[in-house]
Amino acid sequence: MNDIINFWNLRSQRERNLISISFALIALMAIISIFSWVMSNTKSSKAKMINAKNDYEYVYNGALSLLGKKSNSLLKNNPSEIIDSIRSIASVNGVSVSDVSLDDEIMTIILNAQKLEEIIFVLESLHIELALKITKLDLISNDDEMRVTLVYGIK
């Protein structure tokens, strides 16, 4: 430590200023390079996160598509299984199923519920579990009950 102090004391004011400026520039360059490294890692992480999100959405949509094809084939081959699933989904959410009718290209479900939230939960569950895509929704509401008619397209 004494050697550094002696070295510093033996220098002229001009040399001290140059050494101080050199150390300041080295410190500034180190700070800039660290900041640049952090920014590049942040951009890289963001790009990886966006790619992972896109991959997840692609796989999720593909799984929904496969599930929808399975549900559509079940509707054509064994509709009672899907109708039982619809009734169980509705009963879990506190909604009663008045009628389920199945034509060649559409399926109509009539639900009765007390609250709008119950209907929303049933819609979400039908979409998630059976991948049914709704084409029409009619809501008739009075003071004590809501009646909803759901129309699903079958491909």
Q: What is the DSSP string of 113-138?
A: ESSHHHHHHHHHHHHHHH---EEEEE
- What letter would DSSP give residue 105? S
Q: How far apart are CA 50 and CA 18, in angstroms?
A: 48
**Prediction pTM value:** 0.54
Q: What value does the mean pLDDT of the chain take?
A: 85
Tens digit of each residue's pLDDT (9 = 90 or more) over 109-150? 899 988 888 888 888 888 877 777 788 889 888 878 889 898
Q: How far apart are CA 41 and CA 106, in angstroms?
A: 51
Pair of tokens at residue 30: 């180190």
- What letter would DSSP give residue 94? T
The proportion of the chain whose per-residue pLDDT surpasses 70, expressed as a percent, equals 92
Tens digit of each residue's pLDDT (9 = 90 or more) over 72-108? 666 666 777 778 888 888 888 888 888 888 887 788 8
* Res. 29: pLDDT tops 90: yes
